[in-house]
């Protein structure tokens, strides 16, 4: 018999970093599955252009800087005002650079931690507060990286630290909120073919990227996690291309 899947039709999902890359692909597949998406991005116009082909009644673009707890709280309220509730959050927004820790100014390294780690904390906290208020539980999906699982090479130290933080946050949060019907999952992909870190350690158009995972590969994993029956959860899902050593 076919595997049991939850129907996401009408489900309301907040996605951070939805204006490009993995976040945009997540929005695409969620809408295809029937969900409504609060598409959060620090560049709202970029998000509108990226998601313009999606049905307007299933997408709400919110200008959101994930470094701001107030912006995340406003995004959650946007979901509630538009659709009456929030069912899931996908904490995807992230930044990074590749190079020696000695090569970048304090502000660049601070931005990595504030966006990747604290941005996840603020997004998830705002969503969990709404899950608790609604009383029906919810789903938290954290987009981390295999760099947070001890596989990072040199020249990505602060990025790796932020991703370790995401993984630890999700593991601890699961133990805190699972009894309230809130399911926490972490997806940790290896290299993905996006514009991530182009110009700061990666080169746009580099042929090696052709062997990387695609944004849609990771987005499909997000949807799979959300479609799982509520009796089960995926604590940690690492994803690799066939060209990379795990």
- Separation CA 40–CA 93 (nearest Å): 9
Listed range (6-10, 65-69, 209-213) with the worst mean pLDDT: 209-213
The Cα–Cα gap between 168 and 22 comes to 22
Task: Report yes or no: 73 and 2 within 8 Å, Cβ to Cβ.
Answer: no
Q: Please give the model's pTM, rounded to 2 decimal places.
A: 0.94
pLDDT for 64: 99
Residues 6 or more apart in contact with residue 12 via CB below 8 angstroms: 35, 36, 37, 38, 79, 83, 84, 85, 86, 87, 88
| Catalytic hit among 122, 159, 164, 196 | 159
What domains does the chain contain, in order, with CATH numbers? 12-239 (3.40.50.720)
Q: What mean pLDDT, rounded, does the chain reach?
A: 94
The predicted-structure confidence for 126-149, as pLDDT tens digits, reads as follows 999 999 999 999 999 999 999 999
Those residues whose C-beta lies under 8 Å from the C-beta of residue 144, and which sit 6 or more positions away, are 163, 166, 167, 170, 186, 187, 188
Encoded tokens for 146 = 């295999």
Residue 212 appears among annotated catalytic residues: no
Per the CB < 8 A criterion, the answer to whether 94 and 40 are in contact is no
């Amino acid at each position: 018999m076919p595997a049991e899947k939850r129907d996401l039709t009408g489900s309301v999902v907040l996605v951070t970093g939805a204006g490009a890359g993995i976040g945009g692909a997540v929005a695409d597949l969620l809408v295809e599955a029937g969900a409504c998406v609060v598409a959060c991005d620090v560049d709202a116009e970029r998000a509108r252009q990226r998601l313009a082909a999606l049905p307007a009644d299933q997408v709400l673009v919110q200008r959101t800087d994930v470094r701001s707890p107030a912006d995340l709280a406003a995004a959650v309220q946007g979901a509630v005002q538009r659709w009456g509730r929030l069912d899931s959050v996908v904490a995807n927004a992230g930044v990074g650079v590749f190079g020696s820790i000695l090569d970048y100014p304090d502000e660049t390294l601070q931005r990595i931690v504030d966006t990747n780690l604290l941005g996840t904390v603020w997004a998830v906290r705002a969503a969990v507060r709404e899950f608790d208020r609604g009383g029906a539980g919810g789903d938290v999906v954290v987009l981390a990286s295999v760099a947070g699982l001890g596989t990072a090479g040199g020249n990505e130290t602060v990025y790796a630290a932020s991703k370790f933080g995401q993984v630890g946050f999700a593991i601890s949060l699961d133990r805190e909120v699972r009894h309230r019907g809130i399911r926490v999952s972490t997806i940790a992909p290896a290299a993905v073919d996006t514009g991530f870190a182009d110009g700061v350690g990666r080169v746009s158009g580099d042929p090696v990227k052709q062997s990387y995972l695609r944004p849609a590969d990771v987005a499909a994993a997000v949807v799979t996690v959300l479609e799982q029956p509520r009796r089960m959860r995926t604590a940690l899902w690492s994803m690799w291309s066939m060209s990379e050593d795990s």
